Amino acid sequence: MRKFDFPSSVLEALKIVHLQCEKMSLNPTSTLSQELSQVTDFVDEFIFGNAKSKQKSKKLNCIEQLQVIEAIIEHFDGEAEFSLLCSVFMVVFLAKGKNIDFKMDTLSKMLCLNLSQGHRVLLNCAALWLSQQPLGANHCKQIAKSIVQDYLVLLPENKQDKASSSRLVETPLKSPLLAGILLTHFCDLYKLSDSVGVGTSSLFKAPPIQLVRLSTRWLMDQKDLCGAHGNTECQNVVAMLGVSPIPGLLAWSILGPLVNLKESQDQELEYSELHLAVLMHITLHNSDSSFPAAKGGSSSYLSNLTEHLMAVLDTNGGSNNGSSDEPSPIVSKALDRYGQALQAALSAGVQVDQDLLLLIDQLPYNRLINIVTSNIG
């Protein structure tokens, strides 16, 4: 391999990895652990420059990292079988070996680039790779955070069409599974804590408004993204990860405006559109994943959401207008959305227990919530 100059050596290394994956696929009964370990060492040295020997290791700079990304994209532009290319992708970005952080950083940058370019093969390979990682893993959070902060937030916005500046909006058309999985990982970055206590409201961080807009576009453009209309390929996000983005997105639309009071007054329409899009994705088919139950009972997610809503309102003093007992418009809208989410849960067959009703009674009075709860028998 050392007879090839960089980055040609990376292309040649990818060809060898491809051949090795093909050999392993043809002999599935053999013991693959040793072979995979050897291929991983080969990838570390000849693709990412991390050899076992310090003398042979080479720390790649930003330009060389970009050249590695270009070589990978070029290799995946070939006519090879998709399943084999997936194997190559899994091996190249295996979260093991030397300098995993650099490998994951390279994957983040490549994914950002391909989300913009709409490279269908690489997007689907990335979707399957992400589906094999444990939700909440540090390297998955790193990738999701990189897409949001280093790409989405930095994109210039078009005032006529705030999402048109990014090809990201086309992701559900290119790879619906990736869109659903990314939404789930984005929600894991901005989520409710598992318990409510002193200072809990500060633990919930609202997502950037650019991410709110993008999520709304994805949900509106792909009606089956979270499995709203029966069994479709998009529901694989739940089958693959065991979770759905719906609970996290509900928290965004209800709590987001309350956490960012100043900003959200100008962004109220975006949160309203997101909330409508989320409600459209809640049906009998996905009620279990939309309102997940913990060991304590079927309404556990709603209980957690209710407790967080109470904590945020307490922290902000209820956000009332002066000394008036009437909630502010932004609080009224948050309570309305909570009532709509509660009605959606009931319509989807979720059972509301007495403990949850007692929690709901502690919220500020809201006509819609009162109508919904009064019909629970």
* Owner of token pair 């070996």: 97
pLDDT at 164: 45
Ordered DSSP codes for 55-97: TT-----HHHHHHHHHHHHHHTTS---HHHHHHHHHHHT-S-S
Measured CA to CA, the distance from residue 37 to residue 43 in angstroms comes to: 10
Q: Is the pLDDT of residue 295 over 70?
A: no
CB atoms within 10 A of CB 372: 21
pLDDT at 308: 93
pLDDT at 95: 85
CB atoms within 10 A of CB 336: 17
Measured CA to CA, the distance from residue 6 to residue 157 in angstroms comes to: 37
* Owner of token pair 């003398």: 55
pLDDT at 156: 65
List of residues 6+ apart from 291 with CB closer than 8 A: 247, 298, 299, 301, 302, 345, 348, 350
Is the distance from CB of 124 to CB of 177 less than 8 angstroms? yes
Q: Mean pLDDT lowest for which of 98-107, 234-243, 290-299, 364-373? A: 290-299
List of residues 6+ apart from 28 with CB closer than 8 A: none
pLDDT at 207: 94
Q: Is the pLDDT of residue 293 over 90?
A: no
Tokens describing residue 173: 């058309």
Intra-chain end-to-end CA distance of the chain, in Å: 73
pLDDT in tens, 105-162: 999 999 988 888 888 999 999 999 999 998 789 999 999 999 999 888 887 665 555 4
pLDDT at 251: 96
pLDDT at 17: 94
pLDDT in tens, 169-225: 788 888 888 999 999 999 999 998 877 765 555 578 899 999 999 999 999 988 778
Buried/exposed 97-132: b ≥16 CB within 10 Å, e otherwise: bbebebbbbbbbbbbbbbbeeebebbbbbbbbbbbe
Burial class (CB in 10 A: 0-12, 13-18, 19+), 136: exposed
Q: Mean pLDDT lowest for which of 107-116, 265-274, 316-325? A: 316-325
Q: Which amino acid, one-letter code, is at 121?
A: V
Q: Is 242 left (phi over 0), alpha (psi -120 to 50) or beta?
A: left
Q: Mean pLDDT lowest for which of 5-19, 49-63, 239-253, 257-271? A: 49-63
pLDDT tier for residue 2 given thresholds of 50, 70 and 90 = low
pLDDT in tens, 38-82: 888 899 989 998 876 665 667 889 999 999 999 999 999 878 899
Q: Which amino acid, one-letter code, is at 123?
A: L
pLDDT at 160: 53
Please give the C-alpha separations between residue 96 and each of 82, 106, 142, 182, 284, in angstroms, as whole numbers: 23, 14, 15, 22, 40
Q: Residue ranges of the domains in the chain?
A: 1-53+61-98, 99-191+198-374
Q: Mean pLDDT lowest for which of 3-7, 134-138, 368-372? A: 3-7
What is the average pLDDT value for the chain, to the nearest integer?
84
Find the helix packing angle between 8-26 and 33-46, rounded to 10°: 170
CB atoms within 10 A of CB 279: 21
Q: Is the pLDDT of residue 323 over 70?
A: no
Which of the two residues, 261 and 59, has the higher pLDDT score?
59
According to DSSP, residue 297 is labeled B
pLDDT at 298: 47
Which of the two residues, 67 and 241, has the higher pLDDT score?
67
- Coil, helix or strand for 327? strand
